[in-house]
Chains A and B, each alone.
Chain A
């Protein structure tokens, strides 16, 4: 390998990247900008879910329950439908996500010590919003029921402490208030850092599309030299955006950074190297930039979201899916990034993932060098 030749390819590629000023700025900033957009979405908690109450009992107790429901940030009393037709219309339109139906005789049953019935109808279209509505409506119902039960226990002459016989101490380590941003933003860094790789996949495809590959073929440059020279400028561009991403996470969204910053930077470079070598292999097979783009979007963006443990924990996936997930570098980087950011762990705990990233990088680069013929 002749490093002077590698260097001249690098210079040429770097010049390509920086010549078009708009593209260069977009390349540097788009990881950070997409991080901000996505981080913002995760910082919004579900609040103010519109609900309706169909009160058929019209008693003092039912009104008391209704007022409690509407008095929180979590739920917003949106409508008071009179009959089931109206309930259905509201749910179809999506005006309310849940309707609480208090039947006739509710207060009477409660006073008599019988079990009173109540019905909750929920729009399950979006399970997250539905889950939120169910959780808060049942919390209210439980609280209401506990008050009624206390009255009953007092009448039966039993101590009311018996209602909570076990003292549960619930602790969330590393992220005490279970904030979404703390967990998601470090993982999202893995998604946005694949933008430079997507750009790199264009690099080879572009030479072919423009016909400039022909010019390169007649030079004495070797296959490996050409590939490494193409790859390094994009790794460099990606490395520049890592500190920007970390700063955005820490100062913009209050994500703690508990680990070693230098280790994080080094492992990010390793991750960039792994994603780039996959991108290069992809661009060996493509004739046009369009194909290179669509291919790398599927590999990095879509799989990154769904197969990397970012949204769905790897632990619940089936064995086949787990195996597929661990083939993507993003999966390993999500674990590394969360580990260093939130847990503050070091190389000792992460070594397994680091080794896999390195193996992926070397393997795909080798494969690219094998497949890439200096021919047309």
Chain B
């Protein structure tokens, strides 16, 4: 049996050597992908181009603008008219706008119960930027206003801050988006690419008519599956090691857990993850079909496995469904090892789940191939 598998592996390797562009793409594609993610998520949402219309032009209005600049959320430039504001927002030149009305300082200092109005406009077309711009504004306005008006209370000796909330963030102290997205990438890309390779492996043989030749050899379905995944596994795991190196040394993502533990669990996970690739490959009749089915599955994985969106907030039904994907459990393990420094005692339920899924996927694929052989 081992001999037959070995022969198949040699055949796959010869095929791979002929298609060197393939090796190049499989190895360097995900690396460049990770660079993209790392660069684009390493920066917080700040310095948003902001149009400022200051109709008051007083010490108070300038003070508010300075307070606004100090948050580093807005990158202000001045405009003269409201029309200009409207135009800039609709062309996308400004993502937010602050309008300080005439008489701002007078109303602020006056005991007049009518408070001055400040208008903040955000462009809702791009929600990620708009939400940040909208969340920061109330704090700026309130703290500036209170600084000006609560001075008398302070003078009387009362404490102006009744509650001091000190905030401590664990595991990802600076709440860097990149510490979340880069491990996601690490968990996902290598496996996704390796499974695409695997997915098209059997479909390719079928499309080119060479599966028939394989079927008449004494090789058994299980051996065929094992031979096919070995090459994908070697590629995928090399990829994982390359990416892990980049993650730790280039992107400064903390590695708090045990490295050997990570390497062992990653290997184990990758075998399981490749299983669904082979399963897709076994059901599809052409590479085009394998691609389209594989694409749909990858989409679902990105969305429902906690790759970018937290699983906990999904409706209960979707949470239950997400459990059938090994990726969901793996992302929990990966983040726990990297960021939390956790050990097996924390994530053994996830490990068990991956093992169980592996058994189901591989048994299913072998049974499927056996039936297809008879047809």
User: Which A residues are closer than 8 A to B by beta carbons?
Assistant: 20, 22-23, 26-27, 30, 33-34, 37-38, 40-41, 44-50, 91-94, 110, 113-131, 134-135, 137-138, 141, 144-145, 148-149, 152-153, 155-156, 158, 161-176, 178-180, 182-184, 195, 198-199, 202, 206, 209-210, 285-291, 293-295, 297-298, 302-303, 306-307, 309, 311-313, 315-318, 321, 335, 338-339, 342-343, 345, 349
Contacts and interface: CB of A to CB of B under 8 A. Distances in A.
Contacts of A126: 180, 310
Contacts of B200: 289-290, 293
A91 B170 contact: yes
A68 B168 CA distance: 21
B164 A176 contact: no
5 closest A-B pairs by CB = A175-B124, A124-B172, A165-B145, A183-B127, A26-B292
Contacts of A127: 172, 175-177, 179-180
Contact of B313 (A40, A44, A349): A44
B70 interface: no
B365 interface: no
Contacts of A158: 152-153
Contact of A115 (B90, B159, B287, B312): B159
A176 B370 CA distance: 57
B138 A309 contact: no
B19 A20 contact: no
A170 B138 contact: yes
Contact of A156 (B149, B158, B336): B158
Contact of A114 (B26, B90, B159): B159
B146 A124 contact: no
Interface size on B, as a range, is 35 or more
B14 interface: no
Contacts of A183: 124-128, 130
A149 B162 CA distance: 6
A294 B29 contact: yes
A130 B175 contact: yes
Contacts of A169: 117-120
A295 B169 contact: no
Nearest to B189: A302
Contacts of A166: 108, 115-118, 141-142, 144-145
A359 B21 CA distance: 28
Contacts of B78: none
A73 B169 CA distance: 23
A47 B312 CA distance: 9
A289 B285 CA distance: 14
A332 to B, nearest CB: 12
Contact of A313 (B21, B128, B145, B340): B128
B10 interface: no
Contact of B33 (A121, A148, A302): A302
Nearest to A114: B159
A137 B167 CA distance: 10
A179 B165 contact: no
Nearest to B174: A124
A132 B78 CA distance: 32
A123 to B, nearest CB: 6
A22 B289 contact: yes
11 contacts: A23-B292, A26-B293, A34-B295, A41-B304, A41-B309, A110-B162, A113-B159, A117-B164, A297-B193, A303-B33, A315-B48
Contacts of B340: 92, 125
A175 to B, nearest CB: 3
Nearest to A210: B208
Nearest to B201: A290
A295 B29 contact: yes
Interface string B103-141: 000001000010111111111111111110011011001
Contacts of B170: 91, 121-124
A202 B123 CA distance: 40
B58 interface: no
B288 A317 contact: no
Contact of B19 (A113, A198, A288, A313): A288
B46 interface: yes
B288 A174 contact: no
A7 B130 CA distance: 48
B235 to A, nearest CB: 11
B131 A165 contact: no
Given A44-B314, A127-B172, A119 B141 contact: no
B180 A175 contact: no
Given A115-B159, A122-B169, A321-B40, A164 B128 contact: no
Nearest to A308: B40
Nearest to B168: A121
B32 interface: yes
B39 interface: yes
B323 interface: no
B107 to A, nearest CB: 9
Given A167-B116, A171-B122, A293-B200, A46 B313 contact: yes
Nearest to A39: B303
Contact of B162 (A37, A116, A135): A116
